C-alpha cells in the first residue's frame, strides 16, 4: 500500500498525526512532545505527550515479507506493525493550591476538564486519518513504566493526572527493487497424492484471490485481515483418496478495504459458478462448491490528507 509511512520518518509522522487529533479538541492549551521542566510553571495550561516506548508489535503478527508481484515481475516491499506508547499528562499553569477552597481543588477543576477533552479526542479516533492502517487505544499502566508513582518520584515531582495511549501503525520495510524472472513452467512427480489440510487450502485460495484482484501491494494490504475458513462439502460421497478434485465450502470473514469488498464477492461467486478447480494443492484440485462472505466487512480507507 503506497500510503504506508516511511521508516525514516515514522515517529515524526505518528507524532504529527496525534497532535492533529488533540488540537481539534483542545483550545488555548499548549501541546508539547516532551516533559516540561519540573522547576518551572508553564505560562498556560499544558498537555505533555511523552513517547516513552517504541517496539514492534509482536502480538499483531501481520508483518509481511517481500512478496512477488506477478503483474510487474518485481518484489514488493513488505511492512511491519510498530507500537508507539505515550504518557499524556496535564501540567498546571499555576502553583498547587494550599487548601480545598481553590478552584483547582474542586471536582470540576481545570485538570479534569482538559483531560476529559483529551480522553474524548483519543477514544473518538480509533484510526488516525493521516496514517492508513493505524489503530489506537487507551491502555492501563505498563510494566516498562514500573509504576507511575515511581516514575514521578524519579523525576522529582508529584504525581499528575495521566493517560497512557498506544498507537500501532504499519511501517514500510526497506524499498529495494528486485526484478524476478517469471516462472513459466513447473514440473514434478509424486508417488502418492496427499489430501490437503485446511490450512494449505486456505493459503492457496488466499494467494489465488490476491492474484485475481491484481496482486499489487495495495491488494495484499487489503487482504491482511481477511480470513478464509475451509469446510468439506458433506454432500459429496465416496472416498476422496482416489478423487482428482475435492469440493469445499468456503467461508470468508474479517475486514477489508471497502473499495475491494464488491470485487472480492464477485471473484468468490465466479469460483462457485465455474464448477472447476480454482487451485491445486498436493495435486488435488480444489473446487469451491459454496461460499459465504456475509461476515466480511468493508471499511472506508482513511483519508491521507
Statement to judge: residues 44 and 147 lie in one domain: yes
pLDDT at 210: 92
CB–CB of 17/85 below 8 Å? no
Task: Evaluate whether residue 190 is within a structural domain.
Answer: no
Q: pLDDT tens across 160-191, in order?
A: 778 899 999 988 776 556 566 666 677 766 55
pLDDT in tens, 59-82: 765 545 556 666 666 666 577 889
Residues 6+ apart with CB under 8 A from 21: 121, 122, 125, 128
pLDDT given for residue 242 in this prediction? 47
Residue 38 pLDDT > 90: no
What mean pLDDT, rounded, does the chain reach? Answer: 80
Asked if the structure places residue 120 within a domain, the reply is yes
Q: Residue 91: which domain range? A: 7-172
> Radius of gyration over alpha carbons of the chain, in Å?
26
Q: Which residues pair with 170 in a beta bridge?
A: 81
For residue 112, being part of any structural domain is answered with yes
| Domain assignment present for 180 | no
Overall number of domains in the chain: 2
For residue 137, tell me if it sits in a domain.
yes
Residue 30 confidence (pLDDT): 92
Q: Does 145 score more than 70 pLDDT?
A: no
CA distance 69 to 63: 17
Shared domain check, 253 and 131: no
28 with 100, same domain: the answer is yes
Residue 277 has pLDDT above 60, yes or no: yes
Helix locations, the chain, DSSP H = 10-23, 110-123, 148-154, 198-212, 217-222, 258-274
Q: Which pLDDT band holds residue 118 (cuts at 50, 70, 90)?
A: very high
Indicate the residue among 111, 138, 172 that finishes a domain.
172
The dihedral region occupied by 213, where left means phi > 0, alpha psi between -120 and 50, and beta the remainder, is: alpha
- Give the Cα separation of 30 and 9 in Å (integer): 24
Spatial neighbors of 141 by CB under 8 A, at least 6 apart, are 147, 148, 164
Q: Are residues 208 and 135 in the same domain?
A: no
Each residue's pLDDT tens digit, 287-298? 999 999 999 998
Q: Is the pLDDT of residue 305 over 60?
A: no
Say which CATH number the domain at 93 has: 3.30.2000.30
On whether both 256 and 166 belong to a single domain, the answer is no
Amino acid at each position: 500500500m503506497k500510503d504506508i509511512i516511511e521508516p525514516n520518518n515514522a515517529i515524526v509522522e505518528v507524532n504529527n498525526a496525534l497532535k492533529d487529533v488533540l488540537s481539534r479538541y483542545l483550545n488555548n492549551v499548549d501541546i508539547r512532545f516532551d516533559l516540561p521542566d519540573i522547576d518551572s510553571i508553564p505560562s498556560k495550561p499544558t498537555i505533555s505527550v511523552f513517547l516513552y516506548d517504541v517496539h514492534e508489535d509482536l502480538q499483531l503478527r501481520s508483518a509481511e515479507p517481500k512478496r512477488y508481484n506477478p503483474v510487474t515481475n518485481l518484489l514488493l516491499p513488505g511492512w511491519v506493525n510498530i507500537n508507539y506508547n505515550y504518557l499524556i499528562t496535564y501540567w498546571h499553569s499555576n502553583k498547587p493550591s494550599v487548601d480545598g477552597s481553590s478552584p483547582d481543588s474542586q471536582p470540576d477543576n481545570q485538570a479534569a476538564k482538559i483531560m476529559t477533552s483529551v480522553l474524548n479526542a483519543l477514544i473518538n479516533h480509533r484510526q488516525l486519518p493521516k496514517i492508513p492502517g493505524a489503530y489506537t487505544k487507551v491502555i492501563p499502566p505498563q510494566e516498562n513504566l514500573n509504576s507511575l508513582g515511581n516514575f514521578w518520584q524519579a523525576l522529582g515531582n508529584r504525581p499528575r493526572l495521566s493517560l497512557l495511549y498506544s498507537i500501532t501503525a504499519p511501517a514500510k520495510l526497506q524499498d529495494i527493487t528486485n526484478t524476478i524472472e517469471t516462472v513459466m513452467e513447473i514440473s514434478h512427480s509424486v508417488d502418492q497424492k496427499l489430501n490437503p489440510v485446511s490450512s494449505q487450502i486456505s493459503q492457496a485460495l488466499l494467494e489465488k484471490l490476491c492474484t485475481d484482484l491484481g496482486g499489487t501491494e495495495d491488494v495484499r494490504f487489503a487482504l491482511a485481515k481477511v480470513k478464509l475458513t475451509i469446510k468439506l462439502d458433506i454432500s459429496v460421497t465416496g472416498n476422496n483418496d482416489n478423487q482428482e478434485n475435492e469440493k469445499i465450502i468456503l467461508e470468508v470473514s474479517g475486514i477489508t478495504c471497502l473499495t475491494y469488498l464488491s470485487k472480492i464477492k464477485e471473484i468468490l461467486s465466479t469460483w462457485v459458478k465455474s464448477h472447476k478447480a480454482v487451485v491445486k494443492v498436493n495435486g488435488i484440485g480444489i473446487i469451491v462448491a459454496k461460499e459465504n462472505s456475509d461476515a466480511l466487512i468493508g471499511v472506508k480507507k482513511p483519508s491521507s490528507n
